[in-house]
Amino acid sequence: MTAKVLIGTSGFGYSDWQARNEKTKIPFYPSMLKEQQRLAWYSEVFSTVEINTSFYHFPRLGVVQRWEKHVPNDFLFAFKIPKAITHEKKLIDFHTDLERFLDTMSSGLRRKLGPALLQLPPKFSDQNRRSLAVFLKHWPSELKLAVEFREMSWCKHLNQTVDLLSKFNVAYCIVDEPLLPPITPVTADFSYVRLHGHGLKLWYRYFYSRKELLVWKEKIEILKDQTKEIYTYFNNHPAGSAPANARQLAILLKQPLKELETINMTNVRKRAGEDAQSSLDQFITVPDVQTDDFVRYCSHCGEMVLKDDRFCEACGAGLQTD
């Protein structure tokens, strides 16, 4: 068995991914790209995204339908279950809210509907195992579901956790973060990986080094022999780190990846719902994403490094500083 690997980011609408934004470290979106064109541009590079905004509020059907129209036919959306169900109700009396939410996501995304993520509260321990079991029992079996635990007791009693998830073909969400171990149990016919980062104040204010990504490359290579699909999302979104790291991991895993400079702006406009301006529209391009002010390339091995780095993570060579 060799699994299909899908790599993307948690969210797509961040303004600090835009070139020349003062907070941007590694640009992903061109400076002149419109906000409503971001998803269409994103989907030119990645084949999946994790919708993070659905955690904070129930999305409107019209918004979900627009997401579906802005991406290619083979694109897949993962989506977080609202915190009203997980954090406020703590999986108690969730049925009405869950039915309404899933109806919106299913009818809006249609064939582009990917797995759902149930991110549990930090204090939701395995003492709440029965509540989780009831939720999983009522989850529609035709929809993929991953559970992200944020409390250590689920890992301490891993055998019971694995047994519970496996019973319902629900994936254990594999995480990289400071408080939980980066274990990789397989409990379903797909795997779900979230890379949060190891920032000091905010976990996700972090940029993964090539050395760290190589560790995750090896983990994913092992998972490929144990499951059918692997969904991998970078949540270290500040300053453009997530799309940069996602592209690096895709390269390490030898996944097909379109270069930013080859993106067809006409396709972006059309999927964003904009009419072609004229027959000359195909010759109109958005200026290339400018990264020279933020990154450079090692003169010894060619690996991308941050401009302020003093040595290359890939080959260990010292780098000259300006």
Are 203 and 300 found together in one domain? no
Are 214 and 112 found together in one domain? yes
Any idea which residue has 């999986």 for tokens? 91
Inter-residue long-range contacts of 261-265, CB under 8 Å, 24+ positions, other chains counted: 261/288, 261/289, 263/41, 263/44, 263/45, 264/44
Are 210 and 97 found together in one domain? yes
Are 248 and 321 found together in one domain? no
- Indicate whether 272 belongs to any domain: no
- Indicate whether 38 belongs to any domain: yes
In this predicted model, which residue has the larger pLDDT, 75 or 322? 75
The range of the structural domain enclosing residue 317 comes to 292-322
Angle at 195 between CA 85 and CA 54, to 5 degrees: 30
State the average pLDDT over residues 223-249: 96
- Indicate whether 196 belongs to any domain: yes
139-188 per-position pLDDT tens digit: 999 999 999 999 999 999 999 999 999 999 999 999 999 999 999 999 99
- Indicate whether 68 belongs to any domain: yes
Helix (H) or strand (E) holding 68: helix 61-69
Q: How far apart are CA 274 and CA 267, in angstroms?
A: 10
Query: Per the structure, how many domains does the chain have?
Result: 2
- Indicate whether 67 belongs to any domain: yes
Are 13 and 97 found together in one domain? yes
- Say if residue 250's pLDDT is above 90: yes
- Indicate whether 287 belongs to any domain: no
- Say if residue 261's pLDDT is above 80: yes
- Indicate whether 284 belongs to any domain: no
- Say if residue 278's pLDDT is above 80: no
What is the reported pTM?
0.87
70-84 per-position pLDDT tens digit: 999 999 999 999 999
- How would residue 22 be classed by pLDDT, with cut points 50, 70 and 90? confident
